[in-house]
Amino acid sequence: MDLDDRQLLEELVVESQDHLNAMEPDLLALEKGVPAEEALELVNRIFRGIHSIKGGCGFLGIAPVQALAHAMESVLMKVRSRKLDVTPAMVDVLLDGTDRVRAMLGDLAHCAEVDASSVYQRLEPFLNAETAAVAAPEGITTEPRRSGYLPLRKAAPAAGGADLDVAACVAIDAVSPTGATRPDPEAAASVEVAASDGGAGAASAGLVRGGASDVLRVKVDLLNRLMNLAGELVLARNQLLQALDRKFSETAAGDQVLSATRSAVEDARVSLRVALGSADGSSTDDGARRQADRVERILDDMSARISLALPARLSELPGMNATMVNLDAVTTNLQENIMRTRLQSLEALFGKLPRQVRQLARQTGKEIDLVVTGGEVELDKSIVEALSDPLNHLLRNSLDHGLEETAAREAAGKPRCGRIEVRAFHEGGQVNVEIRDDGRGIDPVRIREKAVEKGMLTAEQAARLDDREVVLLIFAPGFSTAEKVSDISGRGVGMDVVRTNIESLGGSIDIDSQVGVGTRTRLKLPLTLAIIPSLLVRACGRRFAIPQVSLDELVRLREGRDDQRIEHVQDAEVLRLRGHLLPLVRLSTLLGLERAEGAARPAVYVAVLKVGSNRYGLVVDEVLDSEEIVVKQLPPSLKDSRCYAGATIMGDGSVAMILDVPAIADLGGLRFTDAVQAASADDRSDSYLDRTESQTLLLFRNAPDGEHFALNLAMISRIERVTAGDIQNAGGHEYLKFQDGSLRLVRLHDFLPVRAPTAEPREVYVIIPKLVKHPLGIIAWECDDVVSTRVEIDRDNLRGAGILGSGMIDGNLTVFLDIHGLFEAAEPELYRSDGHRAPALERTRVLLAEDTSFFRAVEKNYIEALGASVTAVCDGREAWRLLSEHPEDYDLVVTDIEMPLMDGLELTRHIRASERHAHLPVVAVTSLMSEASRAAGLAAGVNAYEVKLDRERLGTTIRQVMEEVCVHA
């Protein structure tokens, strides 16, 4: 076969597949029932598709496809000419037909071996039904149907044979009265158009092809090469910028030298004149005179030349700056657009769903209404491809486990027909794919039982988890809730595999379920795999990139921090972090860059990395920066290294390796279960899930490319979206009319060293906090997300008034705001007077026990603001250890209630039970205030019970408690 033919064939196959893809949803829609005009349009489209396939295959001599397509086309022809009506049986056989055609096209060399006999058999009755249909009144083709719908019965039980169906259908057709009460001219017109279109299949197919001619097929390989070149352009641009920078500074230095030289020359001239003038009287030495004249001329000349050179140099490269800015913008744009060429709409994937659901619905006997939206959303080709399996799995889950049997639905007062919604949409630079059903939901009670049954949790641990955490247990390996194994959702290879797959795409999965109401699963996916956000680190002088999707948090180890120490479990190093043991891998040792014995060097940074539900710490020397990197495939010869996921090119043109986070865990020989067990043997408490309290945070930004900020949701009263016009200026401040009065607004960049937006958007968000004495509104450019997370706050990295510290959230370095500090900076007058009233707690030494790093930072901040000194620890046991070892060192204990190892109540009971500390005042703080918990606290012996984030009340309470203690003493 010559080259041209091969190319033609390739094109034919691709084009035919496109037709098949388009036909499937049309057939399903037809079966489902659509208004008559639309039905005709559908039939015409399907007809054109199959006709084109027939034509193409006929032209290239692919007889089996041509024959089958011809048979299918003939049936459709009859539908078009109103000799046949669409029935489920017909749709069935046509769908089967498309499958066979697809199979044949998939392997052209063996297409004759594809068995299509059953399809032919079932097409037969339709083809032979002519006589029956002809009996129908002639007028039917032009007169509108009264119902407006093609007659159609709901999913017919398989018992009814094809022949029967046709007969029934034809019968219905024949008896269907045509006397419409009001003739519909429009419908008639459309029917006529369709009829005149009948013989012109080829022409219309040509038309379709013509319509799509602004789309061009491009080889992925070519796009990849373009990507490379664009990347290279970016590098060249960076190097050019650097070179120019150097040049400019050199030029500036040169100009200075020139200026200095010019003044020196001027000085010399003046001196020479003076010397000449003073020598005038005794003009005896002509030779000296002539020499002096020559020197003067030389100096004149030099001065003139310098004067000419200087302005020329200063005006060197006019417009260079603007050009560079332009080049910069164009390059970035180019890269983004080339990237976009790799994007593919989800349609290819979503288009298949109705068919699958239809099949599954038949198998399970459930009635299902599937709604698919957002097929136009685009993602990287490789992600779309890899999404197919997880999406199928989730859909099957919804159908099989989620939706109840019809009878159960009716009993529950729900509509008979279950609803599954698949939706894709953009959000925050990511693509979300949501699968939502209105089924029975996931029952946390059942999951708890199951987890205990399977030995994943103790009954006590299970009881401690809240319902949300319990639902997340279905992602644990080997967990499946199906009461019976079915061939639809299969055995429990389920959700952990789905989760792993999604995570390997750089995405995340979240599930939300309400018993009796339904389940919503949300996948968050990156737009592309070609560019990923990453954290750059250094080990043994080499740079590495860690994909940020795998990065949980970053811990900086400092000497003398008892709550962050490296310990040894057998031979392995572990980090004690918030009461948990985190297995450690030293990158330098793992890569053989450093001998294990030589690892005495103190660990500085630990990147906490996620592998499914497990975590481990990677020890690195230095943390460099967060950067978006272009992922290059790993050369095959490095595949065996088992520690790299790819390579990337850095801004300076050098190559850095991208670390493969799961592979490194493997290579490092980490056995997560062992580590956890070792820890629990030691700690007596450890559970499947980290027990540290999570906090709900609002994430927002002050500028589109600016820092990420976080505020605890508990501190926010509301968030308003306002237009710039709503903001009024008065006395140098900005105000928003709010409720009865006006609210002063602050912009973060006025008070914090953070990036300011370059332009003023038309709409901004105003975050209105609560639990503060003098509320101000914080202006935010964009509210990104509300997340529930456990995050370690680093108080050293970033500090200043208004900043609590920083932490890693979703791989972004995030600044935690200290609202009190911020507001104090904004309105010092208001707070200054407060300060005067505060009684000094200067000599009070407070022991603070709080497991959540965020609250620890906040509370420490609050209490220190009162003047007291604070020692903070992570749990009750640590607090009790300090109290036992240094009984005289503390005047007050402030403790959280919910903590690992030893909770606040137990700590209080220990304190009250001991002789030495029986009278030590204890203030309990909690994020949940209920009468029952307050009673429990008081029963344990706390002096006072307060809400965590209310600075005013916490301050007042502490003062009160301390005063009482003084009075009693």
Partner 1 sequence: MRESQYVSFQLDRHLLGIDIQLVREIIRNVDFTPVARAPLGVRGLLNLRGQIITVLDLGPALGLPLREIGPSSRCLILKSPEDVAPLVEAGLVDEAPAGEAVGLLVDAISDVIRPGEQGVDPPPANANGIDADHLRGVVRLEGRLLLVLSLKRLVEEGLGQRVPANVD
- Residue with Cβ nearer partner 1 (542 or 774): 542
How far apart are alpha carbons 144 and 180 in whole angstroms? Answer: 7
Burial 688-716 (b: 16+ CB within 10 A, else e): bbbbbbbbebbbbbbbeebbbbbbbebbb
Place of tokens 């997370």: 789
Check binding of 633 to partner 1 (CB under 8 A): yes
Check binding of 668 to partner 1 (CB under 8 A): no
* Residue from 55, 56, 97, 231 in contact with partner 1 (CB under 8 A): 231
* Cα angle: 406, vertex 409, 410; to 5 degrees: 90
Least Å distance, CB 526 to partner 1, is 21
Least Å distance, CB 530 to partner 1, is 12
* Residue from 117, 282, 315, 637 in contact with partner 1 (CB under 8 A): 637
How far apart are alpha carbons 181 and 236 in whole angstroms? Answer: 75
Question: Judged by CB under 8 A, which stretch of 45-53, 136-144, 301-309, 644-652 contacts partner 1?
Answer: 644-652
* Residue from 346, 498, 647, 661 in contact with partner 1 (CB under 8 A): 647
Least Å distance, CB 429 to partner 1, is 25
Question: Judged by CB under 8 A, which stretch of 231-239, 319-327, 396-404, 457-465 contacts partner 1?
Answer: 231-239
Check binding of 334 to partner 1 (CB under 8 A): no
Binding mask 524-563 for partner 1 (x = CB under 8 A): ------------------x---------------------
* Residue from 632, 749, 881, 909 in contact with partner 1 (CB under 8 A): 632
Question: Judged by CB under 8 A, which stretch of 62-70, 467-475, 516-524, 648-656 contacts partner 1?
Answer: 648-656
Check binding of 656 to partner 1 (CB under 8 A): yes
Nearest to 343 by CA among 223, 239, 501: 223
How far apart are alpha carbons 366 and 404 in whole angstroms? Answer: 8
How far apart are alpha carbons 401 and 778 in whole angstroms? Answer: 45
Contact between 531 and 628 under an 8 Å Cβ cutoff? The reply is yes
Q: How many residues does the chain have?
A: 969
Contact between 862 and 959 under an 8 Å Cβ cutoff? The reply is no
Angle between helices 88-106 and 162-175 (to 10 degrees): 130
- Residue with Cβ nearer partner 1 (229 or 275): 229
* Residue from 649, 714, 722, 783 in contact with partner 1 (CB under 8 A): 649
How far apart are alpha carbons 937 and 904 in whole angstroms? Answer: 8
Sheet containing 418-427, strands listed edge to edge, beginning at the edge strand earlier in sequence? 368-373, 418-427, 430-437, 518-526, 508-514
- Residue with Cβ nearer partner 1 (254 or 651): 651
Check binding of 661 to partner 1 (CB under 8 A): no
Binding mask 189-228 for partner 1 (x = CB under 8 A): --------------------------------------xx
Contact between 126 and 167 under an 8 Å Cβ cutoff? The reply is no
Least Å distance, CB 619 to partner 1, is 15
- Residue with Cβ nearer partner 1 (310 or 593): 593
- Residue with Cβ nearer partner 1 (22 or 649): 649
- Residue with Cβ nearer partner 1 (230 or 451): 230
How far apart are alpha carbons 527 and 30 in whole angstroms? Answer: 33
Least Å distance, CB 503 to partner 1, is 24
Check binding of 764 to partner 1 (CB under 8 A): no
- Residue with Cβ nearer partner 1 (252 or 655): 655
Encoded tokens for 754: 């953070």
* Residue from 232, 316, 567, 666 in contact with partner 1 (CB under 8 A): 232
Least Å distance, CB 589 to partner 1, is 11
- Residue with Cβ nearer partner 1 (56 or 668): 668
How far apart are alpha carbons 262 and 253 in whole angstroms? Answer: 14
Angle between helices 876-885 and 904-913 (to 10 degrees): 20
Least Å distance, CB 817 to partner 1, is 40
Encoded tokens for 354: 């109705």
Q: What is the DSSP letter of 591?
A: T
Name, in order, each residue with C-beta under 8 angstroms of 755's C-beta and a sequence gap of 6 or more. 702, 703, 705, 706, 707, 749
| Biggest distance spanned by C-alpha atoms of the chain | 141
Question: Judged by CB under 8 A, which stretch of 240-248, 640-648, 682-690, 783-791 contacts partner 1?
Answer: 640-648
Check binding of 2 to partner 1 (CB under 8 A): no
Amino acid at 617: G
Least Å distance, CB 10 to partner 1, is 17
* Residue from 638, 676, 722, 743 in contact with partner 1 (CB under 8 A): 638
Encoded tokens for 720: 């308003």
Alpha helix (H) residue ranges in 807-875: 819-826, 828-837, 853-865
3-state secondary structure of 24: helix
- Residue with Cβ nearer partner 1 (590 or 857): 590
- Residue with Cβ nearer partner 1 (41 or 594): 594
Least Å distance, CB 528 to partner 1, is 17
Check binding of 426 to partner 1 (CB under 8 A): no
Distances from the Cα of 212 to the Cαs of 350, 376, 541, in angstroms?
21, 16, 54
Question: Judged by CB under 8 A, which stretch of 596-604, 634-642, 688-696, 732-740 contacts partner 1?
Answer: 634-642
Check binding of 355 to partner 1 (CB under 8 A): no
Q: Which helix (H) or strand (E) holds 952?
A: helix 951-968
Contact between 710 and 698 under an 8 Å Cβ cutoff? The reply is yes
Q: What is the DSSP letter of 794?
A: B
Least Å distance, CB 590 to partner 1, is 9
Total residues binding partner 1 (CB under 8 A): 29
Q: Dump strand ranges (E) for 587-649.
A: 605-611, 614-620, 622-630, 644-649
Kindly report each contact of residues 728-737 with a partner whose C-beta sits within 8 Å and lies 24 or more positions away, as own/partner: 734/779, 736/766, 736/777
- Residue with Cβ nearer partner 1 (292 or 638): 638
Q: What is the DSSP string of 634-652?
A: PPGGGGGGSSEEEEEE-TT
Binding mask 588-627 for partner 1 (x = CB under 8 A): ---xxx----------------------------------
Residues that bind partner 1 (CB under 8 A): 227-232, 235, 542, 591-593, 632-633, 635-638, 640-644, 647, 649, 653-657
